[in-house]
Structures are given as C-alpha cells and as structure tokens.
Homo-oligomer: A and B are copies of this chain.
Amino acid sequence: MTIENFPNHELDVAELAMALEQMTRFMIRLPSVDKMSFTSLSVLHTLTLKSPLRLTELAATEQVTQSAITQLVTRLERDGLAERRADPKDGRVVQVHITPEGAKVIESRRDERIAGLGRYVDGLSLEQQQSIAAAIPALQRLAELGNGKQP
C-alpha cells in the first residue's frame, strides 16, 4: 500500500497523516515526564472527556484487558486521581470518577504542550499561522468523526 492508493480526496491523506505523525512525535515530548504510564494518562484523559465510566467501558476504549483496568484504577484511586463509586441501578457496576486532582494532571500537561507549541508557532510566518488557524475547524470535525461523535 503506497501513497498512490489514496488519490480520491481534495486532500492528500498520506501527507496529512505524515504531518500529523511528525506533530505528534514533537508534542508528545513537550510535557515534563512524570512517572505515570502511558495507559494511566490515557485513562485519565478519557475520564476528562467523560466521567464517570464503567471499568468495562474503559477497558474497551483503552484496548487493554479488564484485569489491567481494574488494577490501573486501583492505582489511580490510591494516588487520589480517580474514585470508584457504586452504580445505584446495577450492583455489579463500578463507576470510575475522575477527581479534581486527576483532572489537574491532564490539565497541567495540556498547558505544558500549549506553552511549548506556542514557542514554535512564533517561528512561523503570519501566512503559515493563518493557514493553520483556518484549518482548525476542519481538524476538529475530523477528530470528532474519528472519535465516533455524532454529527
């Protein structure tokens, strides 16, 4: 499979994918590395988008086993970043809630990324900045589509 197999867009998808790959590679290194695992950060991030979630729902989105999520949430709970609560409707279910402290972890990492990104945006020309600014709504929409949000 090569670039030539994806010609049917106004947009060169392979180029977009490569550009985003390079952006990700760059941005992933911006936040100071605390010693949280990739999966723990991803779970916290998921919970900032939607909290509470069941353990099973987390296991599905994070692509790890239910056992891993049970253990992971136990660690998050121990560290005060999330809480287990019972579901009044269904006694089997554990609802995982993010705590303010847990949300702060994600927020501060985001702020670090924003600050780091800003330093490099300064190196772009006005026209370059404007072209990116003009694309943001479409990128947001694309991410919505990819993340399974309804239109």
* A77 smallest CB distance to B (angstroms): 24
Please state if A128 and B134 are interface contacts (CB–CB under 8 Å).
no
Q: List B contacts of A18 (CB < 8 A).
A: 110, 140
Q: In the complex the two chains form, what is the Cα distance from A20 to B113 in whole Å?
A: 11
Q: Do most interface residues of chain A lie in helix, strand or loop, or is the interface mixed?
A: helix
Q: Quick one: which of B16, B27, B133 contacts A117, CB cutoff 8 A?
A: B16
Question: What is the number of residues of chain A that contact chain B, defined by CB distance less than 8 Å?
Answer: 65
Q: Which residue of B lies closest to A106 (CB)?
A: B21
Q: Which residue of B lies closest to A128 (CB)?
A: B138
Please state if B111 and A16 are interface contacts (CB–CB under 8 Å).
no
Please state if A147 and B25 are interface contacts (CB–CB under 8 Å).
yes
Which residues of A line the B interface, CB within 8 A? 1-3, 6, 9-29, 33, 38, 45, 63, 108, 110-111, 113-118, 120-124, 126-147
- Top 9 nearest A-B pairs (CB, nearest first) are A26-B146, A22-B143, A135-B135, A128-B138, A10-B129, A1-B111, A11-B129, A19-B139, A120-B145
